[in-house]
Amino acid sequence: MASKSDKTLLLDTSQPETRKQVFEAIRALEGLYTTDLTRKRWRVGNGQRGYYWGYMVTEVSKLIDKYREQTDKALNAMFLSEPWEIAGQTITVVRSLSDLAPGAKPALGLSGAINSNVTINP
């Protein structure tokens, strides 16, 4: 019996031609099949992580006079926060950098952060 990795096919469904090929391949099948679809999670690369921790967090931590971990939490709160409504109450959820998809834009742009009323208490 073949392992799951032997039967794995990575599809970029953002491409119309890929969607068409998959639809045509499935339509041509006869018999019973089971299919597992798992969304491929994008991962932050080591170069991106190195730039973020080695440069961005370091420089911002100097500006706000905080430790690196505190600076990381502040940056996540500023750029990766989103409101959720749960049981009639609105709460703020801070996502992880890993939750961003390639090309995704944070909730606030850099200009929004500069012009916003964000207060970081020492």
Residue 69 lies in a domain: yes
pLDDT of residue 102: 59
pLDDT of residue 119: 43
Alpha-carbon distance of 28 to 43, in angstroms, equals 34
Residue 113 lies in a domain: no
Residue 51 lies in a domain: yes
Question: Residue 122: pLDDT above 70?
Answer: no
- Widest CA span of the chain, in angstroms? 66
Q: Between 38 and 84, where is the model more confident?
A: 84
Instruction: Write down the mean pLDDT value for the chain.
Output: 75
Look up the domain containing 74 and give its range.
17-94
Helix, strand, coil abundance in the chain, percent, nearest 5: 45, 10, 45
pLDDT of residue 47: 82
Residue 72 lies in a domain: yes
Count: domains in the chain: 1
Tell me what the mean pLDDT of segment 92-121 comes to: 54
The amino acid sitting at 53 is W
pLDDT of residue 37: 72
Residue 99 lies in a domain: no
Q: What is the pLDDT of residues 6-58, one digit of tens each?
A: 566 677 777 888 888 888 888 888 888 877 777 776 677 778 888 889 999 99
Residue 76 lies in a domain: yes
